[in-house]
Structure formats: structure tokens, C-alpha cells
Amino acid sequence: MFCKPFWTSILLFACNWVHTQAEPIRVLDVDFPDPCLIQADDQYCAFATNGNGVNIQVASSADFISWQLLAGHDALPGPFPSWVGSSPAVWAPDVIQRGDGKFVMYFAATAAADTSKHCVGVAISASVTGPYIPESQPLACPLQQGGAIDPDGFYDQGTFHVVYKSDGNSLDGDGTLHPTPLMLQALESDAITPIGSPIQLLDRSNTDGPLIEAPSLAKHSGIYYLTFSSNMYDTTLYDVSYAVASNLAGPYTKVQAPNAPLLVSGNGSDVGPLSGPGGSDFSVDGTKIVFHAFENGQNIDNGRAMYVSRAQLSQGVIHLARETYTGRHSYSKL
């Protein structure tokens, strides 16, 4: 049920070192964009957008500090159902665990009905690392609104939910900036079947550029925290900001300076200034966050590396750890 069994086929390269680092910390020096985080038993697992030859990438860690890429392992190998296009282009997964022990993956894939757009699908596995088997129908597929991407599962007060982006900027070729609302869909206990219609939590404003996307929800002391990214993912304007509410359904208020944005280009990390940070995801308890930033520290040419940080949610404000600590990095390959 966790990542550890795969370690028997992993060779650790001689690039491990122990040193003192500042947070956030770059933990994977490979293209690993839009990471999500789940803790299963005594392991952390992260999943990412397609890359390095697979549809859904997987990495694992015993301590949240030292991460191993399960190179060549595809958590969502297919075959895909008929609603998915012939080139799935799978993006931004998220994984949760149900009460029956099974794992549910939300993902975005190209829509067969319009391959210029994505829809949100669901897949199930008995193991956190997969393989995940996709359901026959999409969970959200609003093609007239631009499709749907960036799903994030959330469990609150006995009900599963998924929050996702209505991908309106996929329609921007007509010369108009379209809405890119973050939508919340309640789900049955199977974490698959929708209950009613989705509701809108938040939308872009002029200060967000052409879009908001990559939502992630966390809750602490009765306050809901909704992180999101704004501006374009392939620019240094990409960031992580957040909004707060006293009810899951909102209304959400965007947090302003000096407490937001949470992450922007130029913020420090263990390897120097961040560039293009975004695509964040919380741990279930809100004490940890993962995100990506440009691997080369300048632009997207070399992909987006995964970073981690400890977090504290307090009275409507998110604080990221800035302390230093002693840790170990390692890179692995099958």
C-alpha cells in the first residue's frame, strides 16, 4: 500500500550528501511538474504531470526530505477509456485514500471530443503507486467553458470533494480573456460519483493575469485555505497565492500583501532564488507543501523541479518554514 516495495528495484546513484539547507528545498532535479502529495502508511508519495517517458510520474520519501524518483514507473499506464484522446497528455494528478483502503487518482487528460481541451477523470488502485485503472466516464468535462484541469481531492466533514479549474484560457485564442473559475464538486462515498452540480469558489481578477489554476484545499481551526497559481506557467510571473473562507463553499477572500502571494520568483530556497514557482499541493494536515519551479532557475527550458517546505496555517495566514536543517538528497533510477 505504499512506495517502499518498489525500492528493491532501485539503484541509488552516488550523489547523496548530507548538509544544512534552507527551506523550501529542491528535492528532485528532474522535470516533475504539478506535484501532489499523499502520505500512505510510513511513506510520502508525490505524483506529477506526464514526463520522463510516462503518463504519471511517481516519487517517494520516508521523511519528506530525501526523495527518490521511481524512474520508468507509470502510475497511470492505460489503456484509457474512449473519452480520452489518442494522445492523453495527462496533467496534474492528485491522489487520496478512501475509507476502504483503496486509492483514488484525479487527473486531466485530452478530450477525444476536442483534443485542444482536457477533461478531469478518475482512476482507482489498491496500491498508492498504482497501476491506476481509469473510470469509463470523465468526472468533469465542460468543453464549452474550455474543459477542466488541475483536480485536487479534499475530504471534509464526512464528504469527499474535488476542486478543479475550468480551463477558460484554452478559449483565449478568440482574443478574449475568458473566466477560469475554480470549481468544487461534492462526491459520494466512493470519491467518484458526483453529488449535484459543481459550485464556483473563486475566479481570476485583473491582478491575476489571464488565469488562476492549480487549486489545493486545506483546513485548520475552522478556516479553509485555497491555494492557487496565477499568470502563465511558463513565465517568471507564475506564483502561488491563496484565499480563505470560513465555509468550504465560500465566499473566499484573496489574501493580500504582505501575507500573499505565498511564493514568487526571487524567493529564496536551498539552491538559490526560485523562478516560476507554482502548482502547489498541501498535505492532508496542512503542515507540508510541495510545488514546482524552473529547474534551471531562469526559464522552463529544462523543465520544472519539485520543491518541498513545511507550512503553518494560522488565523487565515500561511507561513512557510524559513529555518535551516540537516538533510539528505538522493536521486534514484530503476
Return the active site residues.
34, 213
Cis before residue 181, ω within 30 degrees of 0? no
Strands laid side by side in the 114-125 sheet: 91-97, 103-111, 114-125, 133-134
Which of 37, 46, 48 has its CA nearest to residue 216? 37
Q: Cβ atoms within 10 A of the Cβ of 132, count? A: 28
